[in-house]
Chain A
Amino acid sequence: MEQFNNSDNFLAKWADGTLSDKEKKSFEKTKEYCQYKTILKGTDLLELPDFDKKALFKKIQDNRGKTSKKIKLFPRWTYGVAAAVALLIGGVFFLNTPLEFQTGFGEQLAITLPDNSEVLLNAKTELTYKKRNWKSNRTLNLKGEAYFKVAKGSTFTVLSPLGNVQVVGTQFTVNAHKNTFEVHCYEGTVRVKTGQLSKTIHKGEAIRLLDNSFEKWNLDTQEPSWKKQYSDFTNTPINQVVKALENQYNIRFDSKKINSKLRYTGRFTHTNLGKALQSVFEPLNIKFTFVDKNNIVLATK
């Protein structure tokens, strides 16, 4: 009994049958002995669930060589699909998002298109185009005035609210401000279309839409005057000239009191508002009065 209490493996040895005869005999005299014996006997009677060794071995043979059958939260192929979808969406989104360029009052902006065509935006102008398939589909949207130097290639189209311009390779300007549609051709030929009207103009010619018909005249310059800090006008409706002044100098005109049928031929500078106003309105006999810094009232003298 002493060993039983002092030792921490006495029962293990007893169960194993490795106690000495002396130890065994003294243990068999205790009353606990009977209980322990019954426990072991009872345990022997308990049966483990059957083990179908053959079936398990068959399963193992069938599955050998395959990797373990851990089930992942997302199967591996879904990562590929997710990446592809992300790329696709990203790509489509990126390529389909139109590139947008804008100029403010009196600003100009030079842009080079993917095919090395050049665009120069005049003041208060918006230009958008899609980079996708640019080589085969050269189309831009224009609101305002811009000069194009188009590289040779497929058809080059400028869409504007009032009409479209199609060229193959040439230099021209399009003025598509509100209520204005004017095209100047400096080289090659340009096809201008608006509604049902369509006209082709050649080098040194210009065209504008006025009262639903085209008005054509000849240019005497090789490139747009506004590239050189002034704007040139040839028999231009006064409203269009007023608009050009507004865009250039960030001012507002009240032109209700003047005759809108007036035409203007001449130029104004981009660098001096006083001189510009004088050069436009003096010849037309129009008086201009500043209401405040940015508002001017026009009246016939």
Chain B
Amino acid sequence: MAKENSVCEEKNFKMIFDNHSEVIRNFIYYKCGDLQQAEDITQEAFIKLWNNCKKVLLEKAKSFVMKVAQNAFFNEVKHKKVILKYNEAVDTSKLYDHSPEFLMEEKEFLLKLQQCISNLAPKQREVFLLSRKDKKTYREIADIIGITQKAVERRMHLALKELKEKIGFAI
């Protein structure tokens, strides 16, 4: 019985990876803006989970990898200026039927928005992006970062306010 619930079981480990690896990568990416580093840290965190699989309970595995990844981030990542990159090809034409001028303006707007998000305070940025891009609830974000849900909401509120102040004129 105990074995079935062990992290050392291949299928359990795979499940933890499938469920959480992307959030971890994105979370670290939001923090450091270096995709390669984010993937390296994610990889290390899961290797560490495997090496400690006998000591970690299945229900604690998620917070274990989160914690390991965050610690790795704090230890290793030099705090350089964060420039988040997004995929260039944003195909908006499928969604909206607009004039070329509008599309042009929209492209410029997205570029500006992207810069403004990059310039957010890291604490606000990670909350904002985890919420909007990874569709995490505030409760889940609170668990990931290790703060209260109330604090997450406050950061989200401030992030939106900040973005509006920076980019509101363009709308």
Which A residues fall within an 8 A CB radius of B?
Answer: 7-13, 15-16, 32, 34-36, 38-40, 42-51, 53, 56-57, 59-60, 63-69
Complex CA–CA separation, A40 to B131 (angstroms): 11
Residues of B within 8 A of A12 (CB): 138, 152-154, 156-157, 160
Contact residues of B: prevailing secondary structure = helix
| A45 lies within 8 A of B154 (CB) | no
Which residues of chain B have a CB within 8 Å of any CB of chain A? 14, 17-18, 21-22, 25-26, 29, 35, 39, 42-44, 46-48, 50-51, 85-87, 89-90, 92, 109-110, 113-114, 117, 128, 131-133, 137-138, 150, 152-154, 156-158, 160-161, 163-164, 167-168, 171
Q: A57 and B21: CB pair below 8 A?
A: yes
Contact B35 A39 (CB under 8 A): no
Taking CB atoms, residues of chain A closer than 8 Å to B109 are: 38, 42
Residues A47 and B90 in contact, CB atoms below 8 Å apart: yes
A73–B48 CA distance with the chains assembled, in angstroms: 22
Using Cβ atoms and an 8 Å threshold, which residues of chain A touch B85? 49
Interface residue SS majority, chain A = helix
Q: Which residue of B lies closest to A18 (CB)?
A: B138
Output the least CB separation between B27 and chain A (Å): 11
Considering the complex, give the chain B residue whose CB is closest to the CB of A13: B153
Question: How distant is the Cα of A64 from the Cα of B35 in the complex, in angstroms?
Answer: 22
Say whether B110 contacts A42, CB under 8 Å.
yes
Please measure, in the bound complex, the distance between the C-alpha atom of A48 and the C-alpha atom of B87, giving whole angstroms.
6
* Cα distance A50–B86 in the bound complex, in angstroms: 9
The 5 closest A-B pairs by CB, nearest first: A9-B153, A12-B156, A12-B153, A47-B87, A11-B160
- Name which residue of chain A comes closest to B112, CB basis: A42
| CB proximity of B161 to chain A, nearest CB, Å | 6
Rounded to whole angstroms, the CA-CA distance of A40 and B168 in the bound complex is 12
Whether A56 lies near B18 (C-beta < 8 A) is no
Note all chain A residues with C-beta closer than 8 A to B35.
49
Residues on B with beta carbons closer than 8 Å to the beta carbon of A60 = 17, 43, 46-47, 50
Decide if A46 touches B86 in the complex (CB within 8 Å): yes
Is A64 within 8 A of B50, CB to CB? yes
Q: Given the complex, which residues of A lie within 8 Å of B92, measured CB to CB?
A: 45
Query: Which A residues are in CB contact (< 8 Å) with B128?
Result: 43
25 example contacts (A-B, Cβ-Cβ < 8 A) are as follows A8-B153, A9-B156, A12-B154, A12-B156, A15-B131, A16-B156, A36-B164, A38-B171, A39-B113, A42-B113, A43-B117, A43-B133, A44-B132, A46-B86, A46-B90, A46-B117, A51-B21, A53-B17, A53-B22, A57-B21, A59-B43, A65-B50, A65-B51, A68-B47, A68-B48
